[in-house]
Structure 1
Amino acid sequence: MRNRIFRSMLLLAVVTILIGSLLSGAVTHAALTERVHAEVRSEAKILSLLLPEGGTQTLFEQASQANPATRLTLIDTDGTVLFDSMADPATMENHADRLEVRLAMQVGTGEESRNSGTRGEKTYYYALRLENGQILRMAAASDGIWEIFLRQAGWLLAAMIPVLLFAAWLANRQTRAIVAPLLTLDLDRPMNNDVYDELSPLLVRMERQRTEIARQIDALDKQQQEFAAITGQMQEGLAVLDAKLQVLSLNRSAAALFGVDADTVRGRSFLTLSRDGSLSQVLSRAVSAGESGSAELSLGGRCYQLIATPVRPGAGGIGGVVLLSLDITEQKQAEQLRREFTANVSHELKTPLTSISGYAEMIESGIVRQEDLVPFAARIHSEASRMIQLVEDLLALSRLDEQAVLPDSRPVGLLAVSKRVADRLSELARTQKVTISVEGTDQTVQGDPALLEELVANLCENAIKYNRPGGSVTVSLSCEDRRPCLRVSDTGVGIAKEHQSRVFERFYRVDKSRSKETGGTGLGLSIVKHIAQLHRATLSLTSEDGQGTTVQVLFPAQE
């Protein structure tokens, strides 16, 4: 803008100077011309007064010598040239048709400006009628304005150069003075500026726009903060991408999922965060075809489902993609457990049913001898009992899964419960050649008596069945940091370390052949875990392969 103003002012100065020079020249030319004309008229009148006193020829010659620039002509009454100071009268044509001559003959004086046929330049002619009727004509060259300018062009240019330089300096200075207030405008506070009145409407509009923009920015900041606060508390990962799959926003969960900082990855391609092929295809389809889709991704030992949804702003095309990540690890584990549970139940039921069906088919076909009927019936009864026990354990687990609180919660003495279980299992212990004992002081816990007795019974039954002949099972009661503690220890075969983390899973058996021999269902310790969880107790296991096992149940402190 500064250059534009400078050029405009300089051009204006140059045009002004040129126009001024032309007007000044025209006025000067007019004044000079009028002066020349006046001098010619004056000389002609003076000469006409002197003619009677001297000879005509001599007077004309003296006048021509005194003013060589003036041309004198004496014309007779018929137009014949009698004398001319610059040409031979004999060679000159009749002047009766000259305008100034005709006017002089008629009214006494006449004048005209025209190009001279003799001198070839513009000439002013003045004719005066004498007393004898002859015409005295005087002529002087009268240059045009352009001839004057051309003759003075060098001087004019020499004079205009410093004038133009001064005009350029002045235009530059004025330009700076005009632009300076504009460069110092306080755009943050437009109404505080004291500048040209012509800018007032602009400044008022700028102030309105500034206020509106500030209001909109505040509203956007508030919305962004609300959005960040909401998405920041989400457990699910949320990523907002543009149409080029560049990251616009990542919430805290998504940043933690991909192991990046949300601020540093903004503007980067999302495909640099994850190069999973299925996820790339889902995102590409969302952008190109506008199709929603999902992909599964395993990161850090967990499984995630990523759902891509295209965003269509208004009636336009696809403006971006919203990517939601859901942690489905527990769901996958639950599905795996369900499949394993279904397979285990099917296997556990199929084995005794196959045995029962086989024995019954042999009895039905009559191929069993009479003396073998009783053993076959005993085996059928054993397998049926095993099935009944399995169904009862499954029903117990199902009831425990459905319970959120204890159905019959009251103070229960663990010493009495442990002694009842020991008495009930004493016959099984003798059969297995194992001793069972209860020691320690009585501990009272808040709980369900039936469930607590089942917990102790399952722990003791496992300790008896997986013990050695001549071994022992000890139920110990104590208080640790005001927390009742129940321990069941045995001197049995022990559990290898690689199996210890899974012994509380349903149908998990360390030694499947031994479990089949002992008639276990593989659900006992799983029932123990569920009962302990209902009582908010902590369950732990300590074992060495071949050196026995200790299971500890630590109940919460009692008020």
Structure 2
Amino acid sequence: MKKKFIIINTIIVVIALLLMFALGVTVTKSEHIDRTKVQIVEITRIYKDNYTSAENIVKKSNENIRVTVIDSAGNVIADSDEKDLSKFDNHIDREEIVAAREDKPKVVSRDSDTVGVTMLYYAEKISDSDSPYGYVFLRVAIPVASVNSYIAKSIPLSLTIVFFAAVLSFVAYVIMAGELFKPLEKVKQSLEGLERGEFKRIEVKTSDADADELLSGINDVADKLEESIKQNEEEKKKLDYILNNVSDAIVVCDEGATVRAINSAAKKIFGVQSAEGKTIEAVTGSREFCAVVKRCVTEKKDGFAEVEIDSRYFLCTVKNTESGLTIAVLSDVTDSKTSEKTRLEFFANASHELKTPLTAIKGFNELIGMNAKGEIKEYSEKIEKETQRMLSLINDMLNLNKLENSSVNAENLTPVSVGDAMEEAASELSVLAKSKNVTINVSGDAKLKIEKEHLYELVKNLIENAVRYNVEGGSVDASVKRENGKTIVSVSDTGIGIDAENRSRIFERFYRVDKSRSRATGGTGLGLAIVKHVCELYGARIDLSSRLGVGTVITVTFD
């Protein structure tokens, strides 16, 4: 930058000097020509005052002045430089002759036909008794070359002055640049040191008060910057410590799905030493994890999924930030998933083992009840009721177990009629409804992509729950409709209602608002839990509204 400053300023000075020189030459030449014009007029008038005859006057001319006498007809009758007058053309139409004839003499510049150089001409009319018209024209010419020679003589001196002025300017700029750029060199060295983590304050001691003030300001800014860098480094160390001691794996990606940060837990899971700067596919071979992260990066949305990496299961939570970064957190759920699987397997096996003897007991009891009388008949009916309740409970438990282990692929689902499922459930529950004198009304229809068995379990448990907790002579209204691109299933009853305290818990397993009443109605306590699991499986939303003594409305909305 220093060299550029010196070179550019020296060039500017040289150009300025050359322009001044050219302008000076032009002005000097113009002034010299003006003086020559005045001189030629004065010389002509001197010759005019000393005129006696054409031959005598031309003899008085000197080396740089040419004198010509022209008669009134325009013919040259005498010339100081040329003795052969036949070489001259008629001059009557020459500009200086025309001006003199009109008594308006003027200086004219043009190339000479005889000499071949540019000349200044001036002519005046003089009385001459020997001329036919009583006058002749006396013309004086001075070559412009004499003017140019004067200018040429001054050029070497002027160029010498320009040269020495340029050299002095160069030296001055070198000295000035050294002083001017010395503070900047200090600033540069300070910034380079700061970049290496070695900050040194700039010495504020120059011959320029403004430069000292600037350096002081830079020192203040550098102090704050150094403090900020130290704080950032401390914060980064703390963050790295926290990240590397968190049990969950954390991966941060940019908008191109390139890893920008990764903690020790994630490196251990993926089996890599370093990952920063690599694409997510280069870090892990888990297609599930890569697909979840890339989808969230592309769609700028948060995500949640369960993924398997090297035979272990992780809950993957993906969060998009306003800065354009995507943060993925992997929580190892292998142990809990294995424990849950074991529990569910035990649950299913135990349910099956219980169902077999209960079915046998139910069958034998029916045989006994066919011929029983009196107390035996009464006991047989109680056994029938309890075994049926136990079988219903086991069936619900098996259904719930199947739902918890189910997964659905939306692409493989075919549309199912919700209205038909409601009609089928109402038909199956007609005996229960008749025993409680409850009317079931079904209305509307819509197609929904869902497993037929899951849809049936959903509507059957909603309607059954509405019937069991209804009042004598009450009604149940089951309806379905399409609205704003959504399928809305609604079941309302005129039953006992649910108070606000218990509404948030009725979808829990075996939860009963009134345990004595629930036992009397024959419910298992799993119906609404099954409804909840079906909704979670398909991403549906459940809404409940209820008033004590008025009834309850449960609405399920499918996107």
TM-score w.r.t. length of structure 1:
0.46
* Bigger Cα Rg: 1
